[in-house]
Chains A and B, each alone.
Chain A
Amino acid sequence: MKRAGIGVAVVLLVVAARTQTRGSDPVPLRAAVVQEATTPEGRGALVYARYGCAMCHGEDGRGGFPNANSETDGKVPGVVFVKEGYTPDELRRLILNGKSTIGRTDANGPQPPFRMPGWSGDMTRPDLDNLVRYLISLYPKDAGEKWR
């Protein structure tokens, strides 16, 4: 009788453990249908999202993600004005090679925790070209007006 009790207890233990650890059942969730982008800039926006550029440079490209002691005011810089500072070829090189060392505001301070990854070997040439087109397209239409 005592043994039977132990047996039942063990079976209940196994069933309880299984219930606790089995997880839920799969539920088929359909991916949102993404409209196929028709322009290079539109396709570039998808590349920007896919490679997680928005993680640091922001969904709107205006940057701001904290990067302590980085030379750009302790934040990851925005990309909306890259058209002013880079040629398309320079941008391609920067995206492929990344920036392994980020300049410091305080030369004696800590290393900024984040750096720009290079996507050489991961990003296809069409994706790269579309991304560059997209980045250049972020330049505000009224940017010139603001200087006057």
Chain B
Amino acid sequence: MALTLRSVVSGASLVAFALGVALVWMLVLPPAAAFQPIEFNHAKHLPIACVTCHTGVVDGARAGLPAGLFCAKCHATAPAAVGEDDWARVAQAPASPWVALTRLPAHVRFSHQRHVGAGQLECASCHGDIGTRTAPVPRNPVRLDMSTCLACHRRENVTEDCAACHR
């Protein structure tokens, strides 16, 4: 079965086309959905201030994700609807078992302290209704990228200087 020039060209253009689609997918679409180790219910934890678990959100650059041991401070046993094995993996994890929904590119600086502490913004401004969700969401409910950051900065009349956010 000899390869003809025509079939090679056709195969090559198919590969190029597939690569093109993959590139568009990676550059245009948001990051892949995040899957959490257990079905965490934010709504059930509402009386607790966000900062109690997400330390640093008011006075630091990063908002932390709690270690499993932190959850086990209150939960002596697996929470309802969470399997014992899943719970054991979370509660005994030395580091935070949670998957972050947002990703900050290496060339961008972002300070939660500036927005939440100094700017007095509610977490919902950028994280939408995540605090009232009863199950983990695959992506941050609010789209966070340069265009939405800039739109908000313009609206709020705060700096649009490149160096304010870019390294």
Contacts and interface: CB of A to CB of B under 8 A. Distances in A.
Interface string A21-39: 1111111111101000000
Given A31-B120, A117-B74, A26 B45 contact: no
B65 to A, nearest CB: 16
Interface in B37-87: 45, 47-49, 51-52, 73-77, 79-80
B124 interface: yes
A25 B151 contact: yes
B113 to A, nearest CB: 14
B76 A14 contact: no
Given A23-B139, A25-B148, A55 B121 contact: no
Interface in B101-150: 116, 120-122, 124-126, 128, 139-144, 148-149
A115 B30 contact: no
B48 A23 contact: no
Main secondary structure of the interface of A (DSSP, over half): loop
B165 to A, nearest CB: 14
A27 B125 contact: yes
A7 to B, nearest CB: 8
B104 to A, nearest CB: 15
Contacts, number: 102
Contact of A50 (B52, B79, B143): B52
A94 interface: no
Interface stretch (A77-85, A106-114, A132-140): A106-114
Contact of B128 (A23, A55, A115): A23
A146 interface: no
A26 B75 contact: no
Nearest to A55: B47
A31 B50 CA distance: 13
Contact of B77 (A14, A31, A113): A113
Given A51-B52, A113-B77, A30 B128 contact: no
Interface string A2-18: 00000100100010011
Interface of B: 17, 21, 24-25, 28-30, 45, 47-49, 51-52, 73-77, 79-80, 116, 120-122, 124-126, 128, 139-144, 148-149, 151-152, 155-156
Interface of A: 7, 10, 14, 17-18, 21-31, 33, 49-52, 54-56, 59, 98, 100, 102, 110-118
Given A21-B29, A25-B152, 12 more contacts: A14-B25, A23-B30, A24-B142, A28-B121, A29-B121, A30-B122, A33-B120, A49-B47, A55-B45, A113-B76, A115-B75, A116-B74
